[in-house]
Amino acid sequence: MTRSFSRRGVVGGLAAAGAGAALVTTSRLGGTVKGTTAQATPTTGAPTGPFTLPPLPYDYAALEPHIDTQTMQIHHDKHHQAYVDNLNKAVAELPDLQAMSADELIRNLDQVPEAQRTAIRNNAGGHVNHTLFWELMGPGGGGEPTGPIAEAVAASFGDFTAFQDAVTAAGLGRFGSGWAWVTLGPDGKLAITNTPNQDNPVMEDGPAPILGIDVWEHAYYLKYQNKRKDYLTAWWNTVNWQTVNARYEQAQSS
């Protein structure tokens, strides 16, 4: 069950499955987001289906010392690649689903045959979530936000520290593997939630995330071991607020 936090109201085991303001088109995700123009790392292997691994939008070492080079390489090239590979396998015999983007798939799981639904939920979710995750981080990131998202944080939580604490609490409160999310609530205020596994708020007809943090152990264990709080504290030094602002403005207009 998804748990929500707000000011008014307030990653388990390793996965088996695998800033600038230029527009970066995400492969087979059904949209564009603001990203980084830093040199991308190469993808691994040749495409074996309609879904492909997007290049990491910066060098593996770009987020040091907050996220280590080896974690970034394994996380992107192995874990994310595995979600892509397994998603391609899941839709291999389903041409109607091959024509859909990963974002469309996770928004319309009721249209997926029951035999493939869990695999597509997990792997399309993993593909969408990780593609967003890379774009939400970048070298020289962190600090307090500016622009529209800063105003939204102040209106919804009073100050950045309260917002940061609430998001961190959502990440710490997710038992086992999952994600912490920030979305735009129906009242126009920021809302905080967490989900298990590779679930995404849109799977339950929720709003698209503005910000998300991977709290699967594969996102931090090599550097932080079981100290998820240390990872979450460090993660705030990587945030690409330009991307978050772009997603916030997109959420406002949708």
Residue 5 is predicted with a pLDDT of: 38
List Cα–Cα distances, 125 to 48, 129, 177, 197, in angstroms: 19, 6, 13, 9
Do residues 213 and 166 touch, judged by C-beta distance below 8 A? no
Provide the token pair at 30.
Answer: 């059904």
- Give pLDDT, residue 254: 82
* Residue 229 half-sphere exposure toward CB, CA atoms < 13 A: 4
* Per-residue tokens: 168: 């961190």
**For position 134, what pLDDT does the model report?**
99
Q: How many CA atoms lie within 13 A of 165 on its CB side?
A: 8
Domains of the chain: residue spans and CATH:
3-10+141-253 (3.55.40.20), 23-135 (1.10.287.990)
Beta strand pairing call for 32-34 and 23-25: antiparallel
In the chain, the amino acid numbered 36 is T
252: Cβ–Cβ under 8 A, 6 or more apart, which residues?
148, 184
176 contact partners, CB below 8 Å, separation of at least 6: 12, 13, 196
Q: What is the pLDDT of residue 106?
A: 98
Consecutive 10-residue averages of pLDDT for the chain (254 residues): 38 36 41 38 61 98 99 99 98 96 98 97 99 98 97 98 99 98 96 98 95 99 98 99 98 91
125-167: pLDDT as tens digits: 999 999 999 999 999 999 999 999 999 999 999 999 999 999 9
pLDDT at res. 151: 98
Cβ pair 11, 34 in contact under 8 A: no
pTM as predicted: 0.83
